[in-house]
């Protein structure tokens, strides 16, 4: 069979999109379905995004704007009740995609855009596709376009505080105006206004939607200093300030009142935060990326205070157990020889092998040096489960020493997993395909056997026994984890977070009553999943499990930033790059905090000091998450999710401008002692 051309692939996807996303959701108008089936959406996207042209989502275009989700375009066009022909006005050209859809239906379409660059590029695409009935005009569209009025239909692709009077006046009698309206700049009601007579209008509420803001004279105020040519409006509305009336202060202004500024990331005063943390047993400190220097440093700042002033006993981090145990060995000045592997030598190395972490580790070793009782020294542990094979080696080494007979059984059992040594992910695929035996029973049996021999083994060395058990637990859970990656995403996510939580619990109980832990993980693990999109996907996480288990004794601290640089890769196993972090999106928590104008602050969320702010902080906005991978090209789709911030965290740390972490270089590591965990 001949290979499909790009054109054919797109056409096929477009047809599937119309069937599943549009007709499948109840849109029946053949005028709308035909138009949606005719416009090549990929042509309106930057090349890097064309792959996603027929996905069910909005996508970023230039000027921080978006091309609407296909379904919402269809929904709005449907709401215009078009039957073919007529004069149509669109406000908010953006990419020009919706204008093309309207061009398929109407006789004449006028579309208005307040960014010159977007207007120009939309015009170019529309021309090249032959839409000569569509006219793109660069102007403030809240005032409409009186030259071609009246219109049979007007559609606004951005959300304003209210329906602009000027647009209503440009409707023909019987004409329909569809526009998102709402006081918040994120959630709006989609409203249809029908002009019943010269002076009578009927208004209907259609559904809830979310659009980028309508900015202009009869819309929201411009915050970016972009001023399209001012024109004299035909029917000028009385200036309205609906937003200000409903509540005088913006959320950013209220946040600024409640915020506690941080004057120094490394040494700044945090007494009030420590007071709020009170007697919590588990303090979980997040990060909005795995490669931002300020996050690591301020996290260390809080952690040092928790250790020094509140006697916290260990730090547990989002790293694999055996790697972190190398650090633990070092910071606790242990006498047994350290294991042989190099800590954090696997992708993503910069996440732990960086100057920020090294500074903290050196501090902790120094701090522990002042504690004579070795058992009282502060530990450093890993909660994650990606070290299947290092962990197998660790268990075998341990058993070789304490119980050579058991070591033989262990070799046999773990042998089931060794064919996949190089790439454990392929184990999952092979196991699920059924061509290979699953190794679950063997891995679990080994863990049970170790636990059963607790009495015998702990006699010799309790710490080393704990280490072996954690590795055996990791092997059993990692086996299931890799297998579940092939059956369902939330399944494997939940397994991993459950493993991290179980490891934390077992460390707390190993430490005995009154043991206190600091946890360092990404926001997505330590912020309560039930206050985010994860809830709908059936996912839970460490933060949520901690709240369920410890109630108010768990204290969750989230982090965020507006822009700067970050250390991240483009794909799994790719080299680290220093990437630019895009300015935060309109409609995000980040944008609200950015607009406070305060460079860095902490914000109490468990007890918000201002009632109106408290209410708003429980609202839903977008939140950005950058992991070890950062794809700015598809940022909205790849890195933003929705969250109720005050339900997700007990406290939030904002650092407006941030820089990438500095990975350790071979030069900085020259001449370090053999016990040094970051050695090469």
Stretch that binds ligand SAH, among 108-116, 241-249, 308-316, 341-349 (CB under 6 A): 108-116
Closest-CB residue for ligand SAH?
A: 94
How many other C-beta atoms can be found within 10 angstroms of the C-beta atom of residue 425? 12
Q: Which of 161, 219, 382, 564 binds ligand SAH (CB under 6 A)?
A: 219
* Residue 50 and residue 61 in contact, taking contact as beta carbons nearer than 8 Å: no
The verdict on 216 binding ligand SAH (CB under 6 A) reads yes
Least separation in angstroms between CB 212 and ligand SAH: 5
Counting Cβ atoms within 10 Å, is residue 397 exposed (0-12), middle (13-18) or buried (19+)?
Answer: middle
Cα(357)–Cα(662) distance, integer angstroms: 10
For ligand SAH, the closer CB: 44 or 330: 44
Cα(329)–Cα(461) distance, integer angstroms: 14
For ligand SAH, the closer CB: 235 or 578: 235
Stretch that binds ligand SAH, among 213-221, 466-474, 576-584, 594-602 (CB under 6 A): 213-221
- Extended strands (E) in 182-235: 188-195, 201-209
How many other C-beta atoms can be found within 10 angstroms of the C-beta atom of residue 671? 5
* Residue 314 and residue 379 in contact, taking contact as beta carbons nearer than 8 Å: yes
The verdict on 358 binding ligand SAH (CB under 6 A) reads no
Residue 46 structure tokens: 């930057």
For ligand SAH, the closer CB: 96 or 558: 96
3-state helix, strand, coil in the chain (%, to 5): 45, 20, 35
Cα(351)–Cα(330) distance, integer angstroms: 19
Q: Residues with Cβ < 8 Å from 359, sequence gap 6 or more? A: 300
Catalytic residue from among 68, 293, 325, 484: 68
Least separation in angstroms between CB 597 and ligand SAH: 23
Cα(91)–Cα(96) distance, integer angstroms: 11
- Phi, psi (rounded to 5 degrees) for 349: -60, -35
Q: Which of 29, 66, 289, 349 binds ligand SAH (CB under 6 A)?
A: 66
The verdict on 65 binding ligand SAH (CB under 6 A) reads yes
Stretch that binds ligand SAH, among 61-69, 331-339, 464-472, 548-556 (CB under 6 A): 61-69
Catalytic annotation present for 57: no
For ligand SAH, the closer CB: 159 or 338: 159
Q: Which of 22, 190, 191, 215 binds ligand SAH (CB under 6 A)?
A: 215
Q: What dihedral angle (degrees, nearest 10) is formed by the CA atoms of 523, 528, 530, 535?
A: 30
Least separation in angstroms between CB 26 and ligand SAH: 21
The verdict on 158 binding ligand SAH (CB under 6 A) reads yes
Stretch that binds ligand SAH, among 88-96, 482-490, 652-660, 662-670 (CB under 6 A): 88-96
Helix (H) or strand (E) holding 10: helix 6-17
The verdict on 427 binding ligand SAH (CB under 6 A) reads no
The verdict on 91 binding ligand SAH (CB under 6 A) reads yes
Question: Could you check whether the bond before residue 150 is cis, i.e. omega within 30 degrees of 0?
Answer: yes
Interface positions, 124-153, toward ligand SAH (CB under 6 A): 140-142
With CA atoms as reference, report the closest residue to 626 among 594, 582, 575.
582
For ligand SAH, the closer CB: 216 or 564: 216
The verdict on 524 binding ligand SAH (CB under 6 A) reads no
Least separation in angstroms between CB 221 and ligand SAH: 11
Interface positions, 67-86, toward ligand SAH (CB under 6 A): 67-68, 73
* Residue 526 and residue 286 in contact, taking contact as beta carbons nearer than 8 Å: yes
For ligand SAH, the closer CB: 91 or 598: 91
Residue 223 structure tokens: 């915050």
Distances (CA, A) of 223 to 216, 226, 241, 243: 10, 8, 16, 15
The verdict on 157 binding ligand SAH (CB under 6 A) reads yes
The verdict on 113 binding ligand SAH (CB under 6 A) reads yes
CA angle 615, 619, 622 (to 5 degrees): 145
For ligand SAH, the closer CB: 221 or 271: 221
Q: Which of 23, 36, 45, 118 binds ligand SAH (CB under 6 A)?
A: 118
* Residue 519 and residue 526 in contact, taking contact as beta carbons nearer than 8 Å: yes
With CA atoms as reference, report the closest residue to 627 among 678, 576, 564, 590.
576
For ligand SAH, the closer CB: 65 or 588: 65
For ligand SAH, the closer CB: 105 or 395: 105
Cα(132)–Cα(107) distance, integer angstroms: 10
Stretch that binds ligand SAH, among 146-154, 207-215, 490-498, 655-663 (CB under 6 A): 207-215
* Residue 77 and residue 35 in contact, taking contact as beta carbons nearer than 8 Å: yes
For ligand SAH, the closer CB: 104 or 113: 113
Interface positions, 483-522, toward ligand SAH (CB under 6 A): none
The verdict on 97 binding ligand SAH (CB under 6 A) reads yes
The verdict on 29 binding ligand SAH (CB under 6 A) reads no
Least separation in angstroms between CB 182 and ligand SAH: 15
Q: Which of 10, 115, 501, 678 binds ligand SAH (CB under 6 A)?
A: 115
Interacting residues with ligand SAH (CB under 6 A): 65-68, 73, 91-92, 94-95, 97-98, 112-115, 118, 140-142, 157-158, 212, 214-216, 219
Q: Which residues are designated catalytic? A: 68
């Amino acid at each position: 069979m001949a290979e499909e051309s790009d054109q054919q692939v797109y056409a096929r996807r477009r047809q599937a999109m119309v069937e599943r996303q549009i007709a499948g959701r109840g849109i029946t108008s053949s005028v709308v379905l035909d138009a949606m089936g005719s416009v090549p959406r990929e042509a309106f996207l930057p090349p890097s995004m064309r792959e996603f042209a027929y996905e069910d989502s909005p996508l970023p275009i230039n000027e921080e704007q978006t091309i609407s989700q296909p379904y919402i375009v269809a929904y709005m066009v449907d709401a215009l009740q078009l039957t073919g022909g007529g004069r149509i006005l669109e406000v908010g050209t953006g990419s020009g995609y919706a204008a093309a859809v309207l061009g398929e239906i109407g006789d004449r379409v006028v579309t208005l855009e307040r960014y010159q660059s977007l207007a120009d590029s939309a015009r170019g695409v529309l021309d090249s596709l032959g839409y000569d009935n569509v006219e793109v005009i660069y102007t403030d569209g809240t005032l409409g376009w009186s030259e071609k009025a009246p219109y049979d239909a007007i559609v606004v692709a951005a959300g304003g505080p209210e329906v602009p009077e000027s647009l209503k006046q440009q409707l023909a009698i019987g004409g329909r105006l569809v526009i998102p309206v709402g006081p918040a700049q994120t959630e709006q009601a989609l409203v249809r206004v029908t002009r019943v007579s010269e002076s009578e209008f009927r208004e209907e509420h259609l559904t809830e939607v979310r659009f980028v803001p309508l900015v202009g004279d009869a819309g929201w105020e411009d915050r970016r200093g972009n001023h399209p040519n001012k024109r004299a409006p035909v029917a000028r509305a009385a200036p309205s300030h609906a937003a200000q009336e409903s509540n005088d202060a913006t959320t950013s202004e209220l946040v600024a009142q409640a915020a506690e500024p941080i004057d120094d990331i490394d040494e700044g005063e945090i007494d009030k935060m420590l007071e709020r943390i009170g007697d919590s047993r588990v303090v979980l400190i997040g990060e909005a990326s795995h490669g931002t220097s300020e996050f690591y440093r301020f996290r260390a700042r809080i952690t040092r205070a928790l250790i020094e002033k509140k006697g916290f006993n260990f730090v547990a981090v989002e790293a694999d157990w055996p790697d972190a145990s190398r650090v633990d060995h070092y910071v606790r000045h242990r006498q047994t020889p350290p294991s042989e592997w190099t800590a954090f030598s696997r992708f993503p190395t910069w996440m732990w092998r960086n100057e920020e972490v090294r500074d903290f580790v050196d501090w902790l070793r120094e701090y522990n040096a002042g504690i004579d009782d070795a058992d009282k020294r502060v530990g450093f542990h890993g909660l994650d489960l990606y070290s299947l094979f290092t962990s197998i080696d660790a268990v075998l080494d341990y058993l070789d020493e304490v119980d050579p007979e058991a070591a033989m059984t262990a070799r046999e059992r773990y042998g089931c997993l060794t064919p996949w040594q190089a790439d454990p992910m392929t184990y999952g695929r092979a196991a699920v395909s059924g061509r290979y035996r699953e190794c679950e029973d063997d891995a679990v049996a080994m863990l049970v056997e170790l636990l059963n021999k607790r009495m015998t083994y702990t006699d010799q060395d309790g710490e080393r026994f704990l280490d072996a058990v954690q590795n055996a637990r990791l092997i059993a859970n990692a086996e299931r984890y890799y297998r579940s990656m092939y059956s369902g995403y939330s399944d494997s996510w939940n397994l991993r977070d459950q493993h991290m939580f179980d490891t934390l619990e077992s460390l707390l109980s190993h430490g005995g009553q009154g043991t206190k832990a600091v946890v360092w993980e990404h926001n997505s693990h330590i912020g309560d999943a039930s206050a985010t999109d994860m809830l709908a996907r059936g996912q839970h996480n460490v933060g949520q499990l901690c709240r369920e288990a410890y109630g108010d004794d768990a204290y969750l601290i989230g982090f965020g930033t507006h822009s700067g640089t970050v250390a991240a890769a483009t794909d799994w196993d790719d080299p680290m790059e220093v990437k630019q972090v895009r300015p935060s999106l309109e409609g995000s928590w980040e944008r609200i905090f950015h607009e406070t104008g305060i460079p860095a602050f902490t914000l109490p969320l468990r007890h918000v000091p201002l009632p109106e702010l408290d209410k708003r902080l429980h609202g839903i906005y977008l939140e950005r998450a950058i992991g070890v991978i950062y794809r700015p090209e598809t940022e909205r789709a790849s890195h933003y999710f929705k969250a109720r911030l005050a339900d997700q965290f007990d406290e939030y740390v904002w650092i407006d401008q941030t820089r990438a972490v500095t990975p350790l270089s071979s030069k900085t590591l020259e001449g370090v002692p053999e016990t040094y965990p970051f050695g090469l």
